[in-house]
Amino acid sequence: MTTTTSGQQVKFIQYHQPALESGEYHIKVEQTISDTKGRIPDGVSYSKELIFSVIGERFEPLTPQDIYAVFPPPESLGDHSNVLPHITVNRSTLPWERYPGQSDENLTWLVLLLFRDSDFEDDNDKPKLKTITLGELVAGESGVKFPSYVLDGVGQTAEEQTAVFDIKKKYVADILPTKADIAYISHVRKAEDLTVSEDATPEEAEEEKEFATVVCSRLPQPNGTSYVHLVSVEGRYKDDGTFDFQGAGDEDLIRFVSLANWSFSCVDPKQTFSEILKNLNRTPSTPRLPVNENSTAEKSLAMGYVPLSHSLREGSQTVSWYHGPLATGFHSDTYEFPAKAADELLRYDPELGLFDTSYAAAWQLGRMLTLQNSTIATSLYNWKRAFSQRLKQLENILIHLPLTPKQSAAPIDLPLYVFKWFRDLELLKGIPFNYLVPDEKLLPSESIRFFCVDSLWVDCLQDGAFSIGRVTGADVTEDSVTRSSNSGLTRSDDQKLTGIIMRSQVVAGWPGLLVDGYDTAVADADSIDETEGNLLPLLRMEKLAKDVLICIFKGEVKTVDIHQKPEAMHSGVDPFGIDDTEITKDLRNAQGELIVGSQISVPWNNFDTRLINFVQLAENMKTWFNSSSGGGGSVDNFTSAQFGLQMMEGVQKVRFVKEE
């Protein structure tokens, strides 16, 4: 099954079995030799036996590198009450490397258990993780039910540690999926970029790797906190499909190995991905302070200036204007570089009697950042001296051509990492946040702002970076010649840079955001195509803080789409109505598009615990597709791949259009 979104095609695959199952393997090679001339006895055999073990995950908790994503995000606060939590792992074979029963039936041995605050009579009954050794795990504990396991050969030792929790049977018996349900809780997703060519780089090909997803069959607690554990159920289901509680009573403790865990809360329905973005502060649309009644001051404020304290060289204090590189529009100001010092770039506003320190601050910042990076500073200084000497050699050759001894006058290349330093400065990389956003009112909490990169500010920044070793007037002259002879050290004159900066819990709560920028202002969320707006190259996308994201595009961005990666799609049911006892699910076609009039009811395994009956739900889906209303199709084998596609809740996208 496949679905296409945002230039990518996502394939849903039922399972991905490993090439070799976990366990101990014996390889024996035997060779029998016979000699017709009788020089050696007939039937002499020579043999060699090798033993090796394949050790997959079993008891060791998953590392952050093992986990691609979880949903809902850990510690997030949102309207997740109709979402089925899931975990996506980087190794696509992981859920099928062991068995939930006694034989391989292509079923996952990993199950997500969701606990709610309301499940427990006492806080002491809530599952609490503890670390024990594998030796203690297999030895068992009095009063705690856990299967008898044998450690895997060479790869597992009794001293290794694992994370477990013990919980009373009465709290877990009604939330465990049946073995029949397990057939639908796990599948493989493969995201394929439709624009990647056959000669794609390894980095581009990496985007097409497979991921395995395990889905929980229980809905979270509305207006409360839910706790999710990825637990091993290896060998814990009996042949009749029920979980083996080993004769435990309701008050007896059942032990589970937890390979991963997280929690989230469902509180405010306005805290979903799209609702948070739709309610972002967008006024004003550019980074500037609120409108001021003073018309003279308003001229500066409209350009993004803020008043800041300024210590003058003689020790007195004043207030001066400053604006960062995130400008409210394009400026035509220029300056004849190089500058001798930062003070040369100070400006004075006679109407308000204030200095403008913006470009002087940018120049001084570029100088300080480069001096702070000793490798860049030393390499740049040595290259400038060598380049200047080589220019003088060339002059001597031209002036005294017949008398000049033969010597090399080839140009000296600047190290690539120094060129990269200047390119990074052009994209504002490494700039302290208070230089970018000097006042919190420019970017309040839960806000988004469009900006233009001030080209003169960048010029000053780069000239300050290039000023290493600039002391005398002769140094200024040499720098002018040296820098003009090397285009990689200056900003691209024909390159307009624009972008957005956003401060929102979406940045922190939804990792892996995608941002697309277009050069046409189009409000309709689905109307942009190649004829209406060109997709602009995204030169930089980076988190400046936990909740702050900056994106810089090549060109003038007027429309921005913010959405999640296709593989970040999650499973769930339709949003609840007034009565949440009857929940429904809209179905999709093979391309992942919702089908009008396809709504079916979602059956319960246990209504009180909100545990969904995946087997019956899959049967309801199959029945609908085989009916006349489903298009008269025929679905004989409804697997976890088809089920995963149907349970998918599409990637949400929110569009922002710059105000003119």
Res 156: pLDDT: 78
Considering 59-73, 250-264, 331-345, 530-544, the range whose residues carry the highest mean pLDDT is 250-264
User: Which DSSP category does 61 fall into?
Assistant: P
Min mean pLDDT across 250-259, 390-399, 402-411 is at: 402-411
pLDDT tens-digit series, residues 292-302: 888 888 989 99
Q: Residue 122 to residues 119, 125, 199, 449, 571: CA-CA distances in angstroms?
A: 9, 5, 60, 47, 31
660 against 309, higher pLDDT: 309
Statement: residue 650 has pLDDT above 90: no
> Could you give the CA distance from residue 453 to residue 498 in angstroms, rounded to a whole number?
6
Give the confidence band of 7 by pLDDT, cuts at 50, 70, 90: low
Q: Residue 551 to residues 22, 400, 610: CA-CA distances in angstroms?
A: 45, 54, 41
Write out the two tokens for 9: 């095609």
421 against 206, higher pLDDT: 421
124 against 491, higher pLDDT: 124
Statement: residue 113 has pLDDT above 80: yes
Res 459: pLDDT: 93
> Could you give the CA distance from residue 228 to residue 85 in angstroms, rounded to a whole number?
8
> Could you give the CA distance from residue 594 to residue 46 in angstroms, rounded to a whole number?
65
293 against 115, higher pLDDT: 115
Residue 123 backbone class (left: φ over 0; alpha: ψ -120 to 50; beta: rest): alpha
Cβ contacts of 254 within 8 Å, gap of 6 or more: 144, 145, 146, 166, 167, 168, 169, 172, 245, 248
pLDDT tens-digit series, residues 437-495: 999 999 999 999 999 999 999 999 999 999 998 888 888 888 887 777 776 777 776 67
Give the confidence band of 221 by pLDDT, cuts at 50, 70, 90: confident
pLDDT tens-digit series, residues 400-423: 555 555 554 455 677 889 989 999
Within a 10 A sphere around the Cβ of 363, how many other Cβ atoms? Answer: 28
Min mean pLDDT across 371-375, 389-393, 586-590 is at: 389-393
Statement: residue 175 has pLDDT above 50: yes
Cβ contacts of 343 within 8 Å, gap of 6 or more: 360
- Angle, helices 358-372/416-426, rounded to nearest 10 degrees: 150
> Could you give the CA distance from residue 571 to residue 7 in angstroms, rounded to a whole number?
21
Q: Are strands 110-116 and 224-232 parallel, antiparallel or unpaired?
A: antiparallel
> Could you give the CA distance from residue 505 to residue 441 in angstroms, rounded to a whole number?
17
Within a 10 A sphere around the Cβ of 290, how many other Cβ atoms? Answer: 8
Res 579: pLDDT: 58
Cβ contacts of 405 within 8 Å, gap of 6 or more: none
Q: Are strands 326-327 and 447-453 parallel, antiparallel or unpaired?
A: antiparallel
Bridge partners of 264, per DSSP, are 226
pLDDT tens-digit series, residues 18-27: 888 777 788 9
Res 5: pLDDT: 47
- Rounded to 10 degrees, the C-alpha dihedral 481/483/487/489 comes to 180
